[in-house]
Amino acid sequence: MWREFRDFIIKGNLLQMAVAFIMGVAFATLVKSFIEYIVMPLIGKAAENVDFANLYVNLSGQAYVFANAAREAGAAAIYYGTFINTLVNFLLIAFAATRCPNCTSQLGT
């Protein structure tokens, strides 16, 4: 097992995986920022000035003007606007990373 691991490291696969992981994290951060600050405000504007980040169902019984105020107070709430943002983020990343379902090779656009 150590021999296989050593061969794996020597071939450079470990370095390639590390670079791929770092690039994946950077790409995900970039897409998240793009969704949060560009796409969702445009969708919100098209949906009659809806701010998705402030959409939530308050379960605590106390009134909060914004979702962040409820979060900071530790109020029980369902933050479905944040879920919508995360879902759009996921869908765009999944759309950008199209792979073959059989062999997982990268498909052309």
Tens digits of residue pLDDT in 41-70: 998 899 888 888 889 999 998 999 899 999
pLDDT value at residue 101:
66
Note the pTM of the prediction, 2 decimals. 0.63
Least Cα distance to 91 among 17, 39, 23 occurs for 39
- Enter the tokens of residue 27: 């790409």
CB 73 within 8 A of CB 86: no
- Enter the tokens of residue 37: 């600050």
81 versus 19: the higher-pLDDT residue is 81
Q: How far is Cα 91 from Cα 53, in angstroms, rounded to an integer? A: 18
Can you list the domains of the chain with their CATH numbers?
23-109 (1.10.1200)
